[in-house]
Amino acid sequence: MEILIIEDEKPAADRLKTLVSVLLPDARIYGHIDSINSAVSWFENHPAPDLIFCDIHLADGQSFEIFERIKVNSPIIFTTAYNQYAIKAFKLNSVDYLLKPLDPAELESAIQKFQRQTLNLSVDIHQLKSLLLSEQSYKERFLIKIGEKIHSLPVSEVSFFFTAEKATFLQNHDGRKYIIDYTLEQLENLLNPSRFYRLNRKYIASFESIEGIFSYSNSRMKVKLNKCDDNDILISREKTASFKAWLDR
């Protein structure tokens, strides 16, 4: 997760960074950005962060001007010493509106609210994608080379797909591996999403191939695939909700 802090008072920015680091230890925190102009410049040169903490009164004006000058879709938690801007703040992508000095419990509540919204959106997007793809036809077989022969392997015999040494492989239920001319990104659009799930950057697995699921640190999950030598297949915290929804469909 990437977080941007827009705050013109360094002590306040440092305290916020410390509090957020405790609540989100895996987050990468950028800032502090202390002015409207520097914030606009930052957004023009960086991908949008997952979450923004934004003071309202900055060195060169109110931070609302940032979002008038450049389109930003990231969720925002506003932090300010003034309460008269709440209505204007909530017209933007505001998750919450916190008054200074920040109460750690209120900050934690705001972050939990953001996480709930993010998880719900993740599940909704996955379900929408599945619904849209349900009208499409999916790949039914793959051509694989066995010695000098070309063989057609039904998708029903595929256990999982994975990448290794800049190549993509499929592994069948017997544990045999075959190289194929597709990327995992291409396969995501060719495979039936009710049967296959993109676990991480390296694996797409069929439901049948999942041998075990285990809790892991920082709300992540570890997956064990049948006849797979890799014992460190992790599901990120961000994908945990959609993975559970896929398992429970």
Model confidence at 82, pLDDT cuts 50, 70, 90, reads: low
Co-location of 191 and 164 in the same domain: yes
Of 12-26, 115-129, 175-189, 214-228, give the lowest mean pLDDT range. Answer: 115-129
For residues 98 and 181, membership in a common domain is answered with: no
When divided into structural domains, the chain yields a total of 2
Tell me, what's the pLDDT at 123? 45
User: What is the pLDDT, as a whole number, of residue 26?
Assistant: 87
Same-domain check for residues 84 and 39: yes
Beta bridge partners of 196: 206
Q: Encode 175-188: b = buried (16+ Cβ within 10 Å), e = exposed.
A: eeebebebebeebb
Element (H, E) at 211: strand 210-215
Q: Residue 206, class by beta-carbon neighbours within 10 Å (0-12 exposed, 13-18 middle, 19+ buried)?
A: buried
**The pLDDT of residue 125:** 45
> Is 136 part of a structural domain of the chain?
no
Identify which of 20, 28, 49, 30 has the alpha carbon closest to the alpha carbon of residue 108: 20
pLDDT of residue 156 exceeding 50, the answer is yes
Block residue for tokens 């069948």: 172
Share of the chain above pLDDT 90, in %: 52
Helix runs in 8-76, H state only:
10-23, 36-45, 64-69
State the pLDDT confidence band at 120, using cuts at 50, 70 and 90.
Answer: low
- Give mean pLDDT, residues 91-100: 73
Domain span at residue 45 reads 2-127
3-state secondary structure 97-154: EEECCCCHHHHHHHHHHHHHHHHHHHHHHHHHHHHHHCCCCCCCEEEEEECCEEEEEE
Q: What is the mean pLDDT of residues 83-96?
A: 59
- Average of per-residue pLDDT across 176-189: 94
Cβ-Cβ contacts under 8 Å for 155 (sequence gap 6 or more): 138, 139, 140, 141, 142, 191, 192, 195
For range 62-84, the mean pLDDT: 85
Confidence of residue 176 (pLDDT cuts 50, 70, 90): very high
- Give the model's pLDDT for residue 249: 67
| 210, two tokens | 């999942």
Structure tokens at 191: 């495979």
Domain boundary among 127, 156, 175: 127
Please give the pLDDT value at position 34. Answer: 92
* pLDDT top residue among 5 and 91: 5
State pLDDT tens for residues 131-151: 444 445 789 999 998 888 889
Q: Which of 78, 97, 127 is the last residue of a domain?
A: 127
For range 153-173, the mean pLDDT? 95
Flag whether 134 is in a domain: no
* First and final C-alpha spacing in the chain: 27
Task: Supply the mean pLDDT for the chain.
Answer: 86
pLDDT band per the 50, 70, 90 thresholds, residue 198: very high
pLDDT at 218: 77
Same domain, 10 and 120: yes
